[in-house]
A and B are shown apart, each in its own frame.
Chain A
Amino acid sequence: MSETTVRVAEGPALVLAGYEGKPLRDLADYRAVGGYEQLEQARTRDPQAVIQEIVESNLRGRGGAFFPTGRKASFIPTPDKIAKPIYITVNADESEPGTFKDREIMLKVPHRLVEGCLIAAHAIQSQQVYIYIRGEYLAEYESVQGAIDEARAAGILAGVEITIHRGAGAYICGEETGLLESLEGKRGQPRSKPPFPAISGLYASPTLINNVESITTIPAILAVGPPEYAKIGAPPDSTGTRLFCLSGNVERPGVYEAPHGITPRHLIYDIGGGVPGGHTLKAVMMGGSSFPVMTPDDLDTPLDADSLGQKGYFIGSGVVTVIDERTCIVQFALRVAQFYMHESCGKCTPCRVGTRWLVQLLRAVEEGRAQERDLDLLLDVCDRIIGKCLCVLGDSAAMPVASCVTKFRDEFRAHLEHGGCPFGADSQLARLFAPVDQHAHTPVAQEALV
């Protein structure tokens, strides 16, 4: 696998500050760019003041839900209010198709993640941090473990324990309560909320759960100062920079740090070099595979939560995956649905049953066995999943599928009229999604993949 391009594309270097092509894996290198200074200073301040600073920065969760990080921290009861340990859990189970930024953070600036963990631990007065990392991330695990070991040896942890837990390959364990269940050694399935993890999380104790990028941003916020940070990007809600994951049929895929508010067109064409081989952009997997696909006419929508929201899009985990005209959108929708069918945990009815039904319907469309009313049925099944599940995994399957049917209805219809896929074998998903047979090693065997 070739090295992923990782660089600051625009604006201030925050999460990637100090990274100039050489990973800052040694403590000395990280210290040389001001590493752990923010931690030292934060520890001299009142924990509540540190939470207040994060609130001021208006940092929003980078895992996909965009929840205010500072507010989440302020929900955690202080130790004098509750006779239980307080935990921090860092979500490094990066599994959203198209997302590979946390991977690069852990490889390139692991100490900044550790520093972020320790500042957060100071802010909510926690002694124990768990980093839940997806099992496939071996090099990333070693990188972060190395940073923790170095920090411990240097006395930086100061009594706080940081433990990495490696997952076993379930998308649902990236959902915060599914993650907690898995971390407790149970079957990875989401919990019903409330109670929210801030009150009753890991081992029924107050738990702050943050994405890797969110936590890693904290030292950067303190470095520039929260009020300054809040001016970067697209204030008031989409402050700061983020690591955009540019992939798909684009000339220069990579992880690019840039402020909120740049446009997809700028990202794809100016930063990413556009669609290669003279092909044309057909759609963008915007925010991640869980969200509605973007059509070319919306390429000038600024990449901030509000602007995207007005047009029915989500910023998600910063994914921008370029789909060009060679891709059959039915095949794309089918592949997305197959992913979610495979990853549905099976706990709640609409997701468990609905995702399989979606796959069956899409397969029928793709093979020309469907009728016009099946397209309406597809939309109706999506509608019956969205908003009715225990967690958002079901929505994540239904939203992209519904958007494909709605926005590319003519292409779906062409399948019906053509009696099969008009693209035939020429359509390909190679740069968008792993082949479906990657699921075949599990009990969801061929038969179940309908």
Chain B
Amino acid sequence: MSTELVKVTIDEREVHVPKGTGIVETALAAGIEIPVFCYEPRLGEPVGACRMCLVEVSPGPPKPQAACTLTAADGMEIKTARTSELAADAQHATLEFILVNHPLDCPVCDKGGECPLQDLTFRYGPGSTRMSFEKLTFEKPIPISPTISLDRERCILCYRCTRFSEGVSEDMQLIAANRGAMSVITTFEDLPYTGAFTGNVTELCPVGALLPTQYRFEGRPWEIADVPTVCGLCPVGCNIHATVRETKVKRILSRNHPEIDEGWICDKGRFAFTHIRAADRLVQPLLRRHRHGLEEVSWEEATDEAERLLRNARGRIVTALSGSETVEIAYALGKLLRRGLDSHQAMLPEEVSGALDAYRLPLSAIREADAVVVLGDVPVVERAPVVDLWIKAARRNGARILDDPDDPAVAEAERVVLVWSGPGGRGGATVAELAEKLGLAGRDGCGAFHLPETPNARGAADAWAACCDEEPAEQESIGLLVVSGDEAAADEHVRALAEQAEATIVLSMFGGLSAGWADLVLPGTSYLERDGTFVNLEGRLQRLRRAATPPCPDELEWIAALAARFEVDLAPYAPSVFAEVSELVYGGLSFGEVGERAPLRGYPEAREHVERPALPEPHPQLRKGEIRLVAYKPLFSGAAVERVTELQFQRPGPELELSAEDARQRGIATGDAVTVGSDGSSVTLRARVNRHLRSGIARVPLEHANGLQGTVELAKAQEVSA
């Protein structure tokens, strides 16, 4: 869009907007609504299909024009339905047509009350119908996947969903079939709509045609509240609304942060929330009694026992953080253990670094890049799904997407963005070094991102580091292992430590994870039940709000109670804890100023200081013909996803991705059985050839890797003869 301002008159109001501004937006600038259904700028070029936005334009043809397809030009005069009979009649006509086949089942439609069609009908529509024939009927609802229901009778064929599938998520699965009045939305080959972003179509749909199955008949708009918070399931930190009815979270909606997510969220963030009501959710502390295993105890007894274990350890305490703690929980734990018990040793599932602070950009800057270099070999969508959408948008914008920083296109590009998606990477230090080498510092639109595995590793690490200046001392033995959170509890390094430890305390949402090895289990809470702050992969501090009441005292509450027994002063409230952290890390920013849509700030006081777990060695150079197997944690995996039945169809199959070159050399085609082996162990997987993958790399979801990792042999599996 140019910076040249042009004058447009809308219903006799003059506005000055940049040349090329859409007329719908231009009208908004004049305070005038032009109603739309199909228009959605985030879906790319307007299509002018629904005809709701018809206006009179001069200079222009004598018939009404679709405002959504027009852009502002100097001297343009627009008359909307407010001042033009032609436009009013056209709009009236469109609504009458849309309602001809639309069922009047608003009272039982989940969209009722928050439905654009309902709203616009009330504002602009006819009061009665002249249609006296049978409406079109279809089988309904059709589950296009276990998470989405399609009602074709309600569908007004605005094609928002198919345009999303084609032009945003690029999964190409949602299509329109048939023609004319019989046109229907369907999935390609009637297969379930699968992918990281499918749920977004339920929000794009301007009627009740595509609805989240989890929310069917679960709430009416006048008895729900949308709590603005941040998703805690990955390091992107998408802004979300948690829809709450009677203290229960009923659904998750996007809450467009234009720099982070542009209103798109992944299906894990949208549909995995029901894990907070999982059958094995812990609500009472569990204590190991020698003969009986774990049994429920009161909070008082649990606190006593925790105190006893902490004292007995005499400072020989190791804390395993998950990176999913809020800044406040990590700080509270740190203050208790470090100041109260002089126990400074902590570990995170991954390394954290502040090295990228010089290369910070909002995620939205990826879209404007000329070249995006993606390193690290784990599919971006599996680590930080929405980042994948920004990269796709960049490609549609003409950017080169590369996997080699030495590609000449990188040197030629004006705006270069680096993305590290994979194991190693030293918490961003590796990609920061690369950014320095490429001279990206201080260059407009250039920057680098490291995609961590955990949602708040940076925030947790900074908070832990801020508690105290003491350095951890060498310990000969572990008196007590404190395992904070489900990710740490599931980590094999942590479990190995637990075997050495004299005692172990686990904070966990779910039983089972720690059943065999914990001495004391304290129930944990979900991100949806917490107040506090998270730092996302951009380094952006964001605010979590409690949407649902936790079924147990939250972490801050009992940490504060426990802290009091060690003369550590700790308030059990997130704002108070944040105030302390903020003085040390965030320049004294107040809790209230973190922001509903937080800006990307700089935090010069933040320091790097956390013990590191043993990291995988930098990858040895592969010899020609060798294959390195990357076993990655898929997006649809982990403690939350495992507890949501309707998400199981999204979990990856036993599939091995390999490059076109490696496949050709071995005579492997997509669908073939391949055997992957190393050191005598092997696994047979289905091959999928990915022509975008560089050769020498093969990828497999962790749960199907059978423990394999690193250099492997790969061959087409021998056909078993009958």
* B-binding residues in A (CB < 8 A): 170, 187, 192, 194, 341-357, 360-361, 364, 377, 380, 384-385, 387-390, 442-444, 448, 450
Chain B residues, CB < 8 A from A192: 46-48, 66, 69
* Contact of A353 with B51 at beta-carbon distance under 8 Å, contacts A192-B66, A345-B180 already known: no
Chain A residues, CB < 8 A from B176: 187, 346
The CA of A380 and the CA of B52, in the complex, are separated in Å by: 18
Q: Are B181 and A355 in contact (CB under 8 A)?
A: yes
The CA of A444 and the CA of B94, in the complex, are separated in Å by: 23
Pick the residue among A341, A360, A387 that contacts B63 (CB under 8 A). A387
Q: Which 6 A-B pairs have the closest CB atoms?
A: A346-B183, A384-B93, A387-B63, A344-B180, A192-B48, A356-B181
The CA of A187 and the CA of B180, in the complex, are separated in Å by: 12
**Closest Cβ neighbor of B48 among chain A residues:** A192
Q: Are B133 and A350 in contact (CB under 8 A)?
A: no
**Taking the complex as formed, is B90 at the interface, i.e. its CB lies under 8 A from any CB of chain A?**
yes
Q: Are B179 and A353 in contact (CB under 8 A)?
A: no
CB-defined A-B contacts under 8 Å, sample of 11: A343-B179, A345-B180, A346-B157, A346-B183, A349-B156, A350-B97, A353-B97, A364-B133, A384-B90, A442-B179, A444-B180
Q: What's the nearest-Cβ distance from chain A to residue B690, in Å? A: 23
Q: Are A349 and B66 in contact (CB under 8 A)?
A: no
Q: Are A448 and B182 in contact (CB under 8 A)?
A: yes
* Contact of A347 with B159 at beta-carbon distance under 8 Å, contacts A192-B48, A353-B100 already known: yes
**Closest Cβ neighbor of B133 among chain A residues:** A360
The CA of A439 and the CA of B114, in the complex, are separated in Å by: 39
**Closest Cβ neighbor of B101 among chain A residues:** A353
Q: What's the nearest-Cβ distance from chain B to residue A190, in Å? A: 9
**Closest Cβ neighbor of B159 among chain A residues:** A347
The CA of A342 and the CA of B183, in the complex, are separated in Å by: 11
Pick the residue among B50, B54, B100, B182 that contacts A357 (CB under 8 A). B100
**Taking the complex as formed, is B130 at the interface, i.e. its CB lies under 8 A from any CB of chain A?**
yes
Q: Are A352 and B94 in contact (CB under 8 A)?
A: no
Chain B residues, CB < 8 A from A387: 63-64
- Most chain A CB within 10 A, of B48, B175, B176, B181, is at B181
The CA of A187 and the CA of B177, in the complex, are separated in Å by: 9
Q: Are A443 and B182 in contact (CB under 8 A)?
A: yes
The CA of A313 and the CA of B146, in the complex, are separated in Å by: 55
The CA of A349 and the CA of B97, in the complex, are separated in Å by: 7
**Closest Cβ neighbor of B62 among chain A residues:** A387
Q: Are A350 and B181 in contact (CB under 8 A)?
A: no
Q: Are B183 and A352 in contact (CB under 8 A)?
A: yes
**Closest Cβ neighbor of B54 among chain A residues:** A388
Chain A residues, CB < 8 A from B46: 192
The CA of A215 and the CA of B51, in the complex, are separated in Å by: 34
The CA of A192 and the CA of B69, in the complex, are separated in Å by: 7
Q: A343-B180, A356-B180, A390-B66 are in contact. List 15 more A-B contacts (CB 8 A).
A: A192-B47, A346-B180, A347-B157, A348-B49, A350-B51, A350-B94, A353-B98, A355-B180, A384-B93, A387-B63, A388-B93, A390-B48, A442-B178, A448-B181, A450-B133
Q: Are B179 and A444 in contact (CB under 8 A)?
A: yes
Chain B residues, CB < 8 A from A384: 89-90, 93, 96-97
**Taking the complex as formed, is B468 at the interface, i.e. its CB lies under 8 A from any CB of chain A?**
no
**Closest Cβ neighbor of A443 among chain B residues:** B178
**Taking the complex as formed, is B131 at the interface, i.e. its CB lies under 8 A from any CB of chain A?**
yes
The CA of A348 and the CA of B157, in the complex, are separated in Å by: 8
Q: Are B93 and A390 in contact (CB under 8 A)?
A: no
**Closest Cβ neighbor of A344 among chain B residues:** B180
**Closest Cβ neighbor of A191 among chain B residues:** B47
Q: What's the nearest-Cβ distance from chain B to residue A2, in Å? A: 32
Q: Are B97 and A354 in contact (CB under 8 A)?
A: yes
Chain B residues, CB < 8 A from A356: 136, 180-181
Pick the residue among A342, A350, A364 that contacts B180 (CB under 8 A). A342
Pick the residue among A342, A361, A390 that contacts B51 (CB under 8 A). A390
Chain A residues, CB < 8 A from B181: 341, 344, 346, 352-353, 355-356, 444, 448
The CA of A352 and the CA of B47, in the complex, are separated in Å by: 15
Q: Are A345 and B179 in contact (CB under 8 A)?
A: yes
Scan residues 98-156 of chain B and give those whose CB is less than 8 A from a CB of chain A.
98, 100-101, 130-131, 133-134, 136, 156
The CA of A302 and the CA of B80, in the complex, are separated in Å by: 41
Q: Are A348 and B48 in contact (CB under 8 A)?
A: yes
